[in-house]
């Protein structure tokens, strides 16, 4: 479990030497419920995420983007098709702790301190207490919460809790981060700061990220590629490669950048189908 590989080298080097971080082939997901119509959540989904690549899944509610993430995380299994994570089955990858996961809610255990929460996965997997302490100190520094090591989750703001959750997801230095609208519940200002931090953190750790969101600027700002999905049945409508430079170049100024706006409106056009939308600019929510 080391983050040995070097820099995010998106798309180009896919599957040549190392297996893809995520490979989804022909996946269908059909939910069948008693006395209810079956729901096709995903249909014929193919997706490849290269090691170190940042991929966002975007689409309206109910387009199956969270479902796809859950399938990759092996929290649910596909009805059809196959999913492999670093060349293993999704189940094996889960058992081998190949990924770290963060949800919309921070989901911290209220009876554990910040440190205790970050150390939770390490503790469950039998890492010694000295090593745990070192790792949690490192992660606290990474997410800028060193002063709150001994606080309890209810003493932290939403943004801070979410940072703890991200630190927890990173605890075992996974090569893949799965994030399901992790900033969805935060206010706009906190959200933008967290995005900047996430870009920095993923650059430092070199992890691949699959990021579910329904915010267009967020997807564009963070990603190497944006996967646009359409609902009922959930399909991948298009994949947009965003080239906004390396992590170091993705500063706050980028949000005012012409290329940024261009990409935002391209994603928007893809989301809304063929009809181009008149209004341009940053979506404010």
Partner 1 sequence: MAGVVLLVVLWELYKALGPATGVVIGDLTVLPRTTDLAMPHVWDMIGRLFEPSGSGRNAVPVWLAVVQASLFSLGVAAVGWVVGVFVGLLLAILMQRFRTAESAVLPWIILSQTVPLIAIAPLVKRWGSTIEIGTFTWENWMSVAVIASYLAFFPVSVGALRGLNSPDAIHVELFRSYGVGWWKTLFTLRLPASVPYLLPALRLAAANAVIGTVVAEVSIGLRGGIGRMIIEFAQQASGDPARTWAPIFGAIAIGLVAAGFIALLGVLLRRYRRGEVPA
Contacting residues toward partner 1, per CB under 8 A: 73-75, 94-97, 99, 101, 103, 105, 107, 109-111, 120-121, 123-125, 152-154
Nearest to 149 by CA among 122, 174, 178, 119: 119
Cβ-based nearer residue to partner 1, 102 or 226: 102
Q: How far is the CB of 106 from partner 1 (least distance, A)?
A: 9
Q: How far is the CB of 125 from partner 1 (least distance, A)?
A: 7
Q: How far is the CB of 43 from partner 1 (least distance, A)?
A: 24
Strands (E), the chain: 22-31, 39-49, 54-58, 80-85, 88-89, 99-102, 176-180, 208-213, 225-230, 235-241
Cβ-based nearer residue to partner 1, 178 or 270: 178
CA distance 272 to 277: 8
Strand partners, 180: 212
Cβ-based nearer residue to partner 1, 124 or 189: 124
Cβ-based nearer residue to partner 1, 159 or 174: 174
Q: How far is the CB of 239 from partner 1 (least distance, A)?
A: 26
Q: How far is the CB of 123 from partner 1 (least distance, A)?
A: 8
| Phi (first) and psi of residue 174, to 5 degrees | -70, 155
Nearest to 45 by CA among 60, 70, 23: 23
| Phi (first) and psi of residue 51, to 5 degrees | -55, 135
Task: Name the residue with tokens 């193919």.
Answer: 46
Torsion sign, CA atoms 248, 51, 22, 267: positive
Cβ-based nearer residue to partner 1, 81 or 107: 107
Task: Name the residue with tokens 């989901």.
Answer: 107
CB neighbours of residue 249 within 10 Å: 11
Alpha helical stretches, state H, 40-176: 65-72, 90-95, 114-124, 129-142, 158-170
Cβ-based nearer residue to partner 1, 105 or 230: 105
Q: How far is the CB of 39 from partner 1 (least distance, A)?
A: 19
Cβ-based nearer residue to partner 1, 122 or 201: 122
Q: How far is the CB of 91 from partner 1 (least distance, A)?
A: 9
Task: Name the residue with tokens 């906004």.
Answer: 244
């Amino acid at each position: 479990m080391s983050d040995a590989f070097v820099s995010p080298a998106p798309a180009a080097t896919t599957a040549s030497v190392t297996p893809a971080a995520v490979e989804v082939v022909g996946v269908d997901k059909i939910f069948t419920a008693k006395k209810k119509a079956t729901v096709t959540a995903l249909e014929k989904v193919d997706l490849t995420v290269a090691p170190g690549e940042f991929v966002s899944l975007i689409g309206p509610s109910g387009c199956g983007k969270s479902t796809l993430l859950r399938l990759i995380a092996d929290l649910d299994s596909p009805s059809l098709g196959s999913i492999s994570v670093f060349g293993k089955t999704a189940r094996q990858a889960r058992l081998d702790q190949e990924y770290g996961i963060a949800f919309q809610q921070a989901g911290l255990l209220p009876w554990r301190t910040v440190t205790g929460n970050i150390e939770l996965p390490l503790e469950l997997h039998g890492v010694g207490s000295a090593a745990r302490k070192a790792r949690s100190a490192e992660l606290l520094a990474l997410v800028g919460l060193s002063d709150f090591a001994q606080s309890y989750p209810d003493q932290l703001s939403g943004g801070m809790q979410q940072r703890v959750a991200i630190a927890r997801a990173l605890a075992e230095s996974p090569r893949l981060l799965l994030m399901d609208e992790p900033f969805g519940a935060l206010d706009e200002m906190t959200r933008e700061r967290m995005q900047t931090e996430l870009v920095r953190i993923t650059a430092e750790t070199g992890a691949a990220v699959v990021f579910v969101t329904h915010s267009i600027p967020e997807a564009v700002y963070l990603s190497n590629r944006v996967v646009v999905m359409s609902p009922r049945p959930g399909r991948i409508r298009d994949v947009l490669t965003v080239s906004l430079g390396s992590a170091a170049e993705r500063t706050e100024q980028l949000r005012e950048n012409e290329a940024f706006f261009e990409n935002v409106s391209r994603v928007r056009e893809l989301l809304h189908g063929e009809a181009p939308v008149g209004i341009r600019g940053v979506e404010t929510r």
